[in-house]
């Protein structure tokens, strides 16, 4: 048991660069596999949480843009959604990484008048930023399409009542359209969030290098599978972590769902039911 605490302190934060520098090479224990793969989950959570948080707002913009009557707004939004939904995320990672690599290395200055910001393009080739940008665009496109569908499904009576009460512009959107859109989109959006967490496992299999062997859960799992030549331990461990994570997401999203449905009479509330999910992104 003490050796287990030892591996926890050695490898618990290994994926972000603390603790033992070398990965276990021989006599790999079950504890080490559990701890190191768990440590890799930090990256999966980091990527998914930030991509989803940022993507949520961009997706709303995309949905409104796609719904716009002006082709000037709707055409670019349509194109963006089509490109990111129509091509594999795996290829998007490769493409983006190689684009980032051939960008000028040094970075360029942006003159804001009162201060000069230097944009360091070399950070783009690092996973923490480059892969996050790809995931952010990807989830924005998928969620944008979901929100667009929900936006089209907002009942016209809601809009008429809003007009009758003299709501216009921002106020009408914020008080009437947006909450209903979210409520209708929420089951699909929960699904999208789950798949975003799953998609983060692709990052370190594409161009983005795992610098100093700081990788995500599946990076360490495939490391162990290669070293021990036994896939039957590390991959089920990854599966275990992801099932826990998925249950956590569902718990969290159903709390938000009940908040979104609070104003409805009980029999009209939509409960998030796990087995009713539209499973596929």
* Rounded Cα–Cα distance for residues 276 and 142 (Å): 19
Stretch of 129-137, 146-154, 229-237, 255-263 contacting other proteins, by CB under 8 A: 229-237
DSSP 276: G
Read off the tokens for 114. 């009162």
Binding mask 179-218 for other proteins (x = CB under 8 A): ---------------x--xxx-xx--x------------x
Give whole-number Cα distances, 204 to 184, 213, 214, 222, 277, in Å: 34, 10, 10, 11, 29
In the complex, minimum distance from the CB of residue 155 to other proteins, in angstroms, rounded to a whole number = 16
* Rounded Cα–Cα distance for residues 109 and 60 (Å): 30
Among 53, 75, 91, 264, binds other proteins (CB under 8 A): 91
* Rounded Cα–Cα distance for residues 29 and 18 (Å): 20
274 near other proteins (CB under 8 A): yes
Stretch of 94-102, 152-160, 171-179, 265-273 contacting other proteins, by CB under 8 A: 94-102
Please check whether residue 187 is in contact with residue 276, taking contact to mean a CB–CB distance below 8 angstroms: yes
Which is nearer to other proteins, 28 or 182 (by Cβ)?
A: 28
Which is nearer to other proteins, 18 or 205 (by Cβ)?
A: 205
In the complex, minimum distance from the CB of residue 202 to other proteins, in angstroms, rounded to a whole number = 6
End-to-end CA distance of the chain, in Å? 42
Please check whether residue 98 is in contact with residue 207, taking contact to mean a CB–CB distance below 8 angstroms: yes
Binding mask 63-82 for other proteins (x = CB under 8 A): -------------------x
Which is nearer to other proteins, 246 or 261 (by Cβ)?
A: 246
The contact set with other proteins (CB under 8 A) reads 26, 28, 82-83, 85-92, 94-95, 98-99, 101-102, 194, 197-199, 201-202, 205, 218, 221-222, 225, 227-232, 235, 238-239, 242-243, 246-247, 274, 277, 279-281
């Amino acid at each position: 048991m003490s050796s287990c605490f030892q591996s926890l302190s050695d490898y618990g934060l290994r994926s972000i660069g603390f603790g033992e520098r070398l990965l276990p090479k021989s006599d790999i224990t079950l504890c080490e596999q559990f701890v190191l793969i768990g440590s890799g989950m930090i990256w999966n959570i980091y990527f998914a949480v930030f991509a989803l948080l940022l993507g949520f707002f961009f997706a709303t913009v995309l949905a409104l843009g796609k719904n716009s009557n002006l082709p000037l707004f709707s055409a670019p939004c349509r194109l963006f959604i089509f490109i990111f939904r129509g091509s594999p995320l795996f290829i998007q990672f490769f493409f983006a990484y190689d684009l980032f690599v051939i960008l000028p290395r040094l970075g360029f200055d942006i003159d804001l008048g009162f201060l000069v910001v230097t944009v360091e393009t070399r950070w783009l080739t690092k996973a923490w930023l480059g892969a996050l940008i790809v995931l952010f665009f990807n989830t924005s496109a998928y969620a944008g399409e979901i929100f667009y569908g929900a936006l089209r499904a907002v009942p016209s009576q809601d809009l008429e009542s809003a007009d009758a009460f003299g709501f216009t512009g921002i106020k009408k959107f914020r008080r009437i359209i947006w909450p209903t859109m979210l409520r209708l989109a929420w089951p699909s959006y929960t699904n999208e969030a789950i798949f975003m967490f799953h998609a983060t496992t692709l990052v370190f299999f594409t161009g983005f290098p795992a610098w100093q062997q700081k990788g995500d859960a599946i990076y360490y799992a495939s490391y162990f599978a290669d070293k021990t030549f036994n896939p039957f331990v590390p991959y089920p461990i990854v599966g275990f972590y992801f099932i826990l994570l998925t249950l956590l997401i569902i718990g969290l999203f159903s709390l938000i769902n009940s908040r979104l449905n609070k104003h409805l009479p009980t029999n009209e509330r939509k409960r998030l039911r796990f087995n009713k999910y539209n499973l596929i992104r």
